[in-house]
């Protein structure tokens, strides 16, 4: 298999796969040609476009799209928490809840867990002056967090990037037990976060709409958790109570429709990310992990 920006490795089988949704057609044109980039920056990345997309797929007449989508994407219906015919729209199916018994939580208190099902990139130590390009997207810590003084707390710490596709479980959970602060929304655009851009590095993570939650975890310091909105993702919903203690794996919120992204930033000398994840990342390959699966250990 040729290496693709959409290639990922299944963690438990070691198989290299390519996502069923890949850079082709319209979005490839949008992110790799000058006219397409102009259209994207001036029009397609604005909220009302993603909002209109979400409005359409919340209509009841989109229910007929669910079964063909399930078949095309190979979605396992046995883990969905209610019958497929009970979903009122395509958007509601994309935001489906699952039987969390299918996502067992690693209860070892020394283990950090993945907050989502997604394709993971692991960076064990990122310094302030280090340029970090994630699948063609430039990750600028100060801009991502919206506060330069906050970003300095994470200089030299680990960074984990988790990318969700349209067919993935769209809910996110807490990676450890602890106390979350008030979530802080940072307005922005709605660029695609999948690696469509092959010609230019783009600072989309820092320009997109995003929600930052500082999380005083019990075993991994204060983690900065950033949920990034993206093209066709009109909303990032939160479901927790700030300042109230949460358990490891407890529900935090969900994305509406579309593919999106979660970034976790760690203070230095706090966590050792698993070797296989770091090795795959160094080779330019994402690793698919499940919510609740261990991805690192405290130091």
Which of 171, 173, 207, 219 is flagged as catalytic?
Answer: 173
- DSSP codes, 195-250: S--SSS-B-HHHHB-EEEEEEEESSS-EEEEEEE--TT---EEE-S-TTS-B-TT-
What is the SS3 assignment for 118?
Answer: strand
Q: Which residue in this structure is represented by tokens 């506060």?
A: 147
Residue 158 near residue 100, CB atoms below 8 Å: no
What does the alpha-carbon distance between residue 212 and residue 186 come to, in Å, rounded to a whole number? 8
To the query of whether residue 260 is one of the catalytic residues in this protein, the response is: yes
To the query of whether residue 45 is one of the catalytic residues in this protein, the response is: no
Give residues with Cβ within 8 angstroms of 161, minimum separation 6. Answer: 120, 121, 123, 134, 139, 261, 262, 263
Which of 170, 209, 260, 274 is flagged as catalytic?
Answer: 260
To the query of whether residue 85 is one of the catalytic residues in this protein, the response is: no
What does the alpha-carbon distance between residue 140 and residue 131 come to, in Å, rounded to a whole number? 8
Query: Which of 153, 289, 145 is closest to 227 using CA atoms?
Result: 145
By annotation, the residues acting in catalysis are 117, 173, 260
């Amino acid at each position: 298999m040729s290496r693709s920006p959409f290639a990922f490795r299944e963690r438990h089988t070691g198989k290299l796969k390519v996502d069923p949704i890949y850079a082709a057609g319209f979005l490839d044109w949008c992110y790799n040609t000058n006219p397409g980039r102009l259209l994207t920056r001036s029009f397609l990345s604005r909220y009302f476009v993603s909002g209109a997309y979400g409005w359409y797929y919340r209509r009841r007449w989109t229910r007929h799209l669910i079964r063909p989508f399930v078949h095309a994407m190979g979605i396992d219906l046995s883990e969905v928490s209610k019958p497929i015919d009970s979903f009122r729209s395509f958007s509601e199916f994309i935001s489906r809840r699952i039987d969390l018994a299918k996502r067992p939580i690693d209860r070892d208190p020394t283990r950090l867990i993945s907050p989502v099902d997604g394709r993971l990139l692991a960076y064990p130590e990122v310094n302030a002056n280090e340029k970090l390009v994630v699948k063609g997207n430039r990750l600028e810590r100060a801009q991502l967090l919206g506060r330069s003084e906050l970003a300095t707390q994470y200089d030299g710490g680990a960074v984990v990037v988790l990318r969700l596709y349209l067919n993935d479980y769209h809910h996110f959970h807490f990676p450890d037990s602890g106390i979350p602060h008030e979530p802080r929304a940072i307005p922005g655009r709605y660029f695609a976060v999948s690696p469509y851009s092959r010609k230019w590095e783009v600072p989309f993570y820092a320009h997109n709409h995003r929600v930052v939650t500082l999380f005083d975890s019990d075993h991994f310091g204060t983690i900065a958790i950033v949920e990034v909105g993206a093209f066709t993702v009109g909303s990032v919903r939160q479901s927790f109570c700030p300042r109230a203690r949460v358990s490891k794996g407890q529900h935090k919120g969900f994305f509406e429709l579309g593919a999106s992204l979660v970034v976790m930033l760690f203070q230095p000398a706090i966590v050792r990310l698993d070797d296989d994840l770091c090795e795959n990342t160094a080779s330019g390959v994402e690793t698919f992990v499940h919510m609740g699966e261990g991805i690192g250990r405290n130091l």
